[in-house]
Structures are given as structure tokens and as C-alpha cells.
Amino acid sequence: MDIPESLRARSYELLKKNQRHFGEFTYTVPSPNTYPYQWLWDSCFHAIVLSHFDLEAGKNELLSLLSRQFDNGMIPHMIYWDDQGFKNTHRLKIDWGTKGTSSITQPPMVAYAAWRIFQKNGEISFLEKIYKNLFHFYKYLINERDPHERHLIGIINPDESGEDNSPRFDSLLALPPIHNEEINYQKRMMLVEENKKCNFDAPFCMKNFFWVKDVPFNVIMVENLRSLSHIAEKLGHSYDAQYFNKEAENVALSMRELMSEDGMYWSTFGEDYQKIKVKTWAIFSPMFAKLLSQDEAESLVSNYLLNPISFSAKYSVPTVSQDELSYSPNGFWRGPVWMATNWFIYKGLLQYGFNDEARKIKERSISLIERSGFREQFNPETGEGLGAEDFTWGTLVVDMDED
């Protein structure tokens, strides 16, 4: 099934509608009412979708994101832009101890997004303009987020995973599998206070409060280091290209060594890398960077993706396996379908030639949007739209165009 032309048009319309300007910068808000700021991985998704419609807008999205990079190389996960202090009472106007941005990051999709834009127009000057920012961001992650040099990148707060309330983090927040959203939010805000105390100095924050190596974050790191290596090569920095490629390989090998068991990858916690065996969509994410063997991918797909007890639902793919205690079809990151996770799984399936399965995910994603609109999440059993409205992630269906 091709993406219906009307859906492509509605996607572009939504991105235009959510576009904002601040001085010389242009960015896109994920949802005007619920998420009225700029977010890191959202902007990368926007740039990927915009590469189908308007390359200048895609480039601007990344330029605004990179413009607020910290001196140490980190790119904050939120940019408030209109920040006038913290007068605004919006729930997400959190005091991160910095002005105008958060102090934590998000899955590093930016090199991948930049490479996708380059592939459309072959414009070297854009890559030249942003190379230094990319170089420092990925070096920051390699240097500061891996204090023991085990080649796995750590997150210091669940929000850095992009899946704020995922049950992968319950035990680390001392929460049972079933709890309400408010207590989860409070726990994460307490962690922000701890992070402020350690000055967001990642190695120390990890050691003292939250030492997690998350599977999708590291998968994304591997694939993005590969993109960065291609970018470096194009720019004639062949030593950098080799270096980033080697780093990608190192992370991939470490993931295999420390996260995998019987062909499945699990996020880990603590300095001794204990596995967090909660089945979420993250088990499929290694396919995105082709980290599984063909046999492993086949058994993952047949035992889990297509299994009605776990991840096969009327409106797949639920973000949490239906046989987990924590599964909740309406719970924030605890069961509902999100379009970005569907997109990652779609791309991953294609790496292994599962074109029919990928096509089914695309078809279900399209039918969810046609049924319930551009919502933030969807109940996997009923297809009902949940959370934010006019939410941009649904536009990623435009990029499900390879099967």
C-alpha cells in the first residue's frame, strides 16, 4: 500500500502549522498545546519527514537544534526559545538549572537526520556547516557517558531515553509495575533535583543516582555513528570517518557482550550491567542498526512481534508486551502505539527482508492516523487516539516508503 496522497499532504500541512520562528531560527513544535517547545529527537524526526517536502525547512530544523549546543558538546533535549525565566506555569517548564534549555539530552538521531537530508541533495556545504557540532556531540556521548570505557552510552534520567514513563525504568525509580503517572513524574523530577546537585556532571550523576545503559539509545548511537562516519568521509576527514566507524563497531560489540542473552537485548543498570528484563518494543530496536543475526531476527519476529500474547495487537505495535504486568493500553509509554517506535521497527524489519511484516506496520500506522488523527499515542486494542493532538510523529508514515 502506498502512502495515500492526502495523508502526505496532511502531514506536510501539520509540520507547517506547527512551525515556529524565533529570531533567525525556525523549528517545529511537536504539538502546539501539549508540547509547545523544541525537542531533540522530535526535531530529527521532523527533518527526516521534511526531507521529503522541503529540504530548507529540514535543514533549519537541525540548525535551530544545534544552535543551543552546550560548551561541553551536549545537545539539550528541550529548547524553550521564548524563555523569559520560569514565569510560565506550563508543566514542562521545569527548572533545569540552566536558562532556556533543559540540561539532559535525548536519543542522538541528529547525524542520521543530517545524512538523510544530504542524500536528497548532495549539498556538502550544509554538512560542512554542522560537522563541528555533530563531532562534539558524539564525542561528548563517547567521552562523558561511558565513564568506565565499556563502549556503552549511559543515560542519567529516564527522559533521556525519550520514553519517559517506560516500565524499563520502574525498578530503578523504586516503583511497582502498576502505579499512577503522577508518582512517576514526581520520581523523575526528584531525579532532576539530584542531577542538579551533581551539576549534570554525567559520570558522577550516573554513579550516584541513575546508571542505565538503554538499548534503543545505544542502537541509535550505533546507526548515527555510522552516519557520522559517512559524513566525515564526504568531507574528506578520513581519519574521523574511520574513528567513528570503529566507535560504532565498539558499541555494537559491547551491546552484544553486555546486553544480549539468547538473541535478545536488554537494557542494563548499575556498574555491573544487570539486565532489566522487561519486554518493551526495545527488544525489536536492535534490528534498526542490524545488530541481530538473521536467525535471531527471525525468532524475535515469530516469537514476539507476531505473537498475540506479546506484541501482536489489533493496532500493533504496542510499546509494552501485553503479558507484562505493567502493560496498560492507555498508559503513557506503558502500552500504547507511538509512531516513532513503529517507524524504528518498520526500518529494522526491512534490514532483514521482512517486507510483508514491515508493510503491515505501515498499513496499521496509516489506518490509526486515518481513524484517530495525528494523536500522540494510540490504544493498541481499540485504535483510540490518546494524549496530545496535532502531534507530529504521525508524519513519519511519509518515510515508511521502502517496502
Residues that bind ligand GLC (CB under 6 A): 30, 35, 39, 41-42, 162, 164
CB of 162 to ligand GLC, least distance (A): 4
Is 42 or 357 the residue whose CB approaches ligand GLC more closely? Answer: 42
Which element (helix H / strand E) includes 25?
strand 25-28
CB of 69 to ligand GLC, least distance (A): 18
Is 227 or 392 the residue whose CB approaches ligand GLC more closely? Answer: 392
Is 83 or 298 the residue whose CB approaches ligand GLC more closely? Answer: 83
CB of 9 to ligand GLC, least distance (A): 22
CB of 30 to ligand GLC, least distance (A): 3
Provide DSSP, 335-374. Answer: S-B-HHHHHHHHHHHHHTT-HHHHHHHHHHHHHHHHHH-S
Burial of 182 (0-12, 13-18, 19+ CB in 10 A): exposed
Return the residue matching grid coordinates 525489536: 284
Alpha helices, H only, 39-99: 40-50, 55-66
Is 159 or 223 the residue whose CB approaches ligand GLC more closely? Answer: 159
CB of 168 to ligand GLC, least distance (A): 13
Q: Which of 349, 355, 342, 279 is nearest to 315 (CA)?
A: 342
Provide DSSP, 271-331. Answer: TTTEE----BGGGTGGGGGT-S-HHHHHHHIIIIIT-TTTT--TT---SB-TTSTT--TTS
Alpha helices, H only, 167-303: 181-197, 202-208, 215-234, 238-259, 294-300
Is 69 or 105 the residue whose CB approaches ligand GLC more closely? Answer: 105
Amino acid symbol at 40: L
Residue pair 317/365 in contact (Cβ under 8 Å)? The answer is no
Is 160 or 357 the residue whose CB approaches ligand GLC more closely? Answer: 160
CB of 331 to ligand GLC, least distance (A): 12
Is 42 or 390 the residue whose CB approaches ligand GLC more closely? Answer: 42
CB of 161 to ligand GLC, least distance (A): 8
CA distance 75 to 145: 13
CB of 74 to ligand GLC, least distance (A): 16
Q: How far is CA 327 from CA 15, 129, 281, 307, 363, in A?
A: 31, 44, 12, 15, 24
User: How many Cβ atoms sit within 10 Å of the Cβ of residue 332?
Assistant: 20
Is 221 or 258 the residue whose CB approaches ligand GLC more closely? Answer: 221
CB of 335 to ligand GLC, least distance (A): 14
Is 41 or 378 the residue whose CB approaches ligand GLC more closely? Answer: 41
Is 41 or 273 the residue whose CB approaches ligand GLC more closely? Answer: 41
CB of 355 to ligand GLC, least distance (A): 28
CA distance 273 to 267: 8
Q: Which of 213, 198, 204 is nearest to 272 (CA)?
A: 213
Which element (helix H / strand E) includes 377?
strand 377-378
Q: Which of 290, 383, 263, 269 is nearest to 344 (CA)?
A: 290
CB of 253 to ligand GLC, least distance (A): 28
Give strand pairing partners of 38.
79
Is 30 or 331 the residue whose CB approaches ligand GLC more closely? Answer: 30
